Structure 1
C-alpha cells in the first residue's frame, strides 16, 4: 500500500465482531478462496445490502486480502442468496447457494436488526471502524435506515462506495432493477442476438459484475488517493452505457446503427467475422488483418482466391450471406478444435466457444491458475470459480524481474 494507507491500523485490531452476530460466511464456504493475494491486508471493508454489484465489489477487495465484513438484516433471514440461486432456468429457491459462495467466499459476517436501537448502534460502529464501506442501498433506503449522513460524513480518509442500479440521483435513483433490465436499459441488450430475432441477454448477472468491478476500482482510487474523493456513487446502468463506446460513437458521428447478427465485424470491420457454426458447436471467426487468401487455404479451396467476393472487400461487406455460402460447408464438416488449430497455423486469430465444462479444463486457464476451489454447502467436492485474472510480477531493487517471462519456443 502507498502512504495513503500508512495511517490505518491493522485489520486484526480494526475488525470487531458483534457478540450478537454470526460468522457463517467463512464457515459455510470454507474460509479463504485460494488464489488471492495480500496487497490490501491492512484494509477493513464493510458491505451493506444485498445487491450483487456491491457483493462483487466486496469479493474483489477480499481477493486482494482485505478483511470484508458482510452485514445482514436479521429480521429478513439474511441475504436472499441464502435462499435463492442462479440456475440454468433463472433464479430459483435453492439450498445449494453456489452464487452466495462465489460472491462471499472468505468474508466475515455480522447479522443485526436494522430497526432496533442496538442494531443501529452496532451498524454505525462497524461503519466507523471500516476503511471502506460498500452499500447497495438506494437513496430512499439510505434515508430510511439513517445511513445517509453516516456514509457522507466518514471520518479521516475512509472511503464509501455506493453500487446501485441507477445511482443516487436522477429520476430513477430510487428504482430497483434486475440484471436483465439493466442490460436492456444500458443498451447492451440491443447488440446481442440474431438480426432477425429479438434482443437477447446473457444468462449470468453481467451487468452487476461490471458495476462491481467499477465499484472496486473506485474503492482503490479512494484508498490510494484520498484527494480523489471519499464517496463514490456507481450507477450500474452508467457502467454499461460506458462500455458501448464504439456503438454510440458510430451512431453519433456516422449515423450508423449497430445491427445484431454476426457482430461488429460484419458491419464495421469487414466480412467475414463473428460466430460460425461447425460440426460440434461454434467458432469465433476474426480475420484481424489476416489476408483473405488465408480463408481460402483454411477451407481447402485455394481456387476461391480468384472469386469476385474474395477479390473485393466492399462486395463481401455488401453480400455477406453469399460469401458465407462459399465457406460454411467446410465449417459444418469439421469440429471446432480442428478449425481453430488450423486457423492458428495460418496466423488467423480464431477462437473456441467454450462450454462451462470445457472452460474448467482449459489448458491456458489451468496454466495461469485462474480458477480457484471453494467449498459450497451441499456439494461433496469443492466448486471451481474464477480467482484473480491477473498476476503481480515481482522485481528486485534493480528492477530485474524475479519471475521473468518465458521466451516462446
Structure 2
C-alpha cells in the first residue's frame, strides 16, 4: 500500500473523498491531516489543472487543501467505475461528498445504497442549504450563505451596508463541522457497530456561527446591528489608534477596566459617572473611545502593547498576513509547515491548530498528481495489471 499517514491518530480509517471546491475538501483535509487513508476520487478527464477541486493544481489554494491524500481517477458515470467504487466502499469507513442532494441518488451511491454494501459505513454530506427542505436544490456558495445566514448584516461599519468577511467562513466551518460529525459517528459506531448518514450545510454552519449574536435575538428579541471594530456588548473593546498605527484592546469586566485606567495613567476616569460601570460605558462608548485614542497617541503600538500586557489588559497588534507568519508565537506553534510539492518544490502550508502529545499531525505528503495512486489502489483491490490497463483504455480510470 502506498499510504504514508500524516499521523497515527486515524491511520486505521479509510475515507473515500468525492468532494470538490472547498467545504468538502476542508472536511477531508481534517481527516487526512490526522492520518486517515484518504482516497481522493477524480474524473479521468479532469487532467492536472485541478478543475473544480480548488483551482489549478499548482495554485496555493489547491496545494493547501489537498495535502496528505492519494488520488484515484475513476469515472462514476460508467458501470465499471461504479463497480470499482462499490468495492472500495465495501471496506471503507467513510465517504464524504458535497454534490447537490440529488446527484448521489442518481449515481446509486446514496446512504441506503452504501449501507447495503457496508453497514458500518459513515456517509458525510455537505450541501448549500440541506438535503431536504424548500431550498434543497439551490446551488450553494460561501458568500450567499454569509448573507442568508446573517453574518453580512453584522459585519462592517454602522450604516455601511452589508459586508462579507475576508475568508470563506461558511465553507470552512461547514467542512470542519462535517469532520466533527464524522468523528462523532465513528465513536458511536464503536458502541452500535453501525454507521450513519451525517449532514450539514453552508447555511446551517453560518447560522450556528452567529453564536451569541443569534442568542441575542432568540433569547432577548434583540436584532444585532453592525458595530464595526467595536465589540457589540463588551466596552471598551475595539481598534484604537496609536502614535504609529493601530492596536486591539479588549476590556471585559470591571477588573480589567480598572487595570486599563491604571496602565494608561488615567485613574481619574474611575470617578467619571459616565464610565462608572459597563452599562454607563456602553451608553457613552463614543466619548470613551475618543479619549482612549487621545491617550494612546502619545506612544507607539509596541510601547502600548508592552505596557498593557504587563498590566494584564488583553491587547495586540493588528497584523497583515505576512506579519502573521513572522510573529514569534506563530513560528513557535509551527503554523507554517514545510512540504516538498511536486508542482511548487519546497514550500510551506498551513498546519493544524491542534497539538496532540502522542499523535501529532504532520504534512507527510504533498497534494497528489491526478491519478497518481490509481494503479496502486486498484492493485490493492485485486485488479490485475491487464485489467487496470483495459480500464484505462475504456476511460474508466
Does the Cα contact within 8 Å between 2:185 and 2:195 map onto a contact in 1? yes
1:192 matched to which residue of 2?
155
1:40–1:109 distance in 2 versus 1, CA, 3 Å: same
Q: Offset of 1:95 from its aligned partner?
A: 6.3
Of residues 239, 244, 259 in structure 1, which corresponds to 2:205?
A: 239
Q: Offset of 1:44 from its aligned partner?
A: 0.7
1:277 matched to which residue of 2?
241
* SS in structure 1 at match of 2:216: helix
1:387 matched to which residue of 2?
352
Q: Offset of 1:114 from its aligned partner?
A: 2.5
- Normalising by structure 2, we get a TM-score of 0.80
Q: Offset of 1:152 from its aligned partner?
A: 5.0
* SS in structure 1 at match of 2:355: coil
2:362 matched to which residue of 1?
none
Q: Offset of 1:239 from its aligned partner?
A: 1.8
Of residues 38, 43, 46 in structure 1, which corresponds to 2:16?
A: 46
Q: How is 1:209-248 mapped onto 2 (pairs within 5 angstroms)?
A: 209-226=172-189, 227=192, 229-248=195-214
1:123 matched to which residue of 2?
85
Of residues 368, 383, 388 in structure 1, which corresponds to 2:333?
A: 368
User: 1:82 & 1:235 partners in 2: Cα distance?
Assistant: 18
1:206 matched to which residue of 2?
169
Provide the alpha-carbon RMSD of the alignment.
2.7
- Normalising by structure 1, we get a TM-score of 0.78
Instruction: Verify: 1:141 aligned to 2:103, yes or no.
Output: yes
1:331 matched to which residue of 2?
296
- Compare 219-228 and 315-324 and name the one that shifted more: 219-228
User: 2:335 & 2:75 partners in 1: Cα distance?
Assistant: 38
User: 2:146 & 2:35 partners in 1: Cα distance?
Assistant: 31
Of residues 159, 163, 185 in structure 1, which corresponds to 2:126?
A: 163
Does the Cα contact within 8 Å between 1:97 and 1:376 map onto a contact in 2? no
Does the Cα contact within 8 Å between 1:158 and 1:230 map onto a contact in 2? yes
2:51 matched to which residue of 1?
80
* SS in structure 2 at match of 1:268: coil
1:402 matched to which residue of 2?
none
Of residues 264, 267, 286 in structure 2, which corresponds to 1:321?
A: 286
2:25 matched to which residue of 1?
55
- Compare 256-265 and 229-238 and name the one that shifted more: 256-265
1:298 matched to which residue of 2?
263
Q: Offset of 1:43 from its aligned partner?
A: 0.9
2:145 matched to which residue of 1?
182
User: 1:378 & 1:277 partners in 2: Cα distance?
Assistant: 43
1:174–1:118 distance in 2 versus 1, CA, 3 Å: same
* SS in structure 2 at match of 1:80: coil
Structure 1, unmatched stretches of 5+, are 1-11, 16-25, 85-93, 395-409
Q: Offset of 1:81 from its aligned partner?
A: 5.0
User: 2:82 & 2:299 partners in 1: Cα distance?
Assistant: 63
